[in-house]
Amino acid sequence: MKNFVLGEPLRRLLKGMLGGLLWVGLIQVHADETTIRQRLEQKLPKLAPHVLQIHPAHALGLYELYTDDRQILYVDESMTTLVAGDLIEAKSLRNITESRLKILSAVKPSDLPLELAMKRVKGNGKRVVAVFSDPDCPFCRKLEKEMDGITDVTVYTFLYPLASLHPDAPQRAHWIACSHDPEKTWEDYQLRHIEPVQHECHDHLDQVQALGEKYRINGTPTLIFADGSVVPGALPQAELEQALGPH
């Protein structure tokens, strides 16, 4: 089962608010989402702005709080208990939290403005994946090498430079986006270390940056598969094949 890791911003926030997690008796709840939201704003005002969605957890009288760093916390109606951790269904040992996270964080490539991405079609192009990638990210380069051996896929690459980690990445992303053949220029730089030629144009990098922030993309590479799953990191080829599905 997947270990729960609380996002660092919320970890610091909760530590300051509560001095750690408070565990007390849980009660059955019947309040609606609006009531829970109001009580959250009243009793936990520092946490409330980070909560994107509230839903009944259908367990122990708790409500699930889906936060802006793609985590789930749980709270009772009276706001006396805040739980960080996975809920496990005892009979089947199914990880309820993990299942809900997959649903809540799902983003299908078809939901994205694909016109902002570079499009590469390999083989029949039947399978689809979108990738947020930084030109100077070493793990992005590793992913490209793994992807190079995969066929029958359409890859939409969103240029998403993280200047805080790679100061030169925004400039390189601009040159790649403005090149005569962005897809080839991207592959040349990632796979063959050929520097992009300096070109000038009006690019869409600001729009991609806003898109990444909207979907809480805070690391590269981040892959979005056809089933809506959002997966960070450079997956090896075998795992990519499995996630992409049949040819």
Sorted by where each starts, the structural domains of the chain and their CATH numbers stand as: 8-104 (no CATH), 109-244 (3.40.30.10)
Whether cis (ω within 30° of 0) applies to the bond prior to 221 is: yes
Contact (CB, 8 A) for 81 and 44: no
Contact (CB, 8 A) for 133 and 143: yes
Distances (CA, A) of 12 to 9, 192, 218: 5, 42, 18
Q: If DSSP codes are grouped into helix, strand and coil, which group holds residue 84?
A: strand
Residue 238, exposed/middle/buried by CB under 10 A (0-12, 13-18, 19+)?
exposed
Confidence of residue 24 (pLDDT cuts 50, 70, 90): very low
As given in the structure block, the two tokens for residue 159 are 């240029």
The mean predicted confidence, pLDDT, of the chain is 88
Confidence of residue 18 (pLDDT cuts 50, 70, 90): very low
Res. 205: pLDDT tops 70: yes
**What is the per-residue pLDDT for 11?**
58
What residue type is 247 in one-letter code?
Answer: H
**26 or 98, greater pLDDT:** 98
Confidence of residue 102 (pLDDT cuts 50, 70, 90): confident
**What is the per-residue pLDDT for 27?**
39
Residue partners of 239: CB distance under 8 A and separation at least 6: none
Confidence of residue 6 (pLDDT cuts 50, 70, 90): low
Please name every residue paired with 167 in a beta bridge, in sequence order, or none if there are none.
none
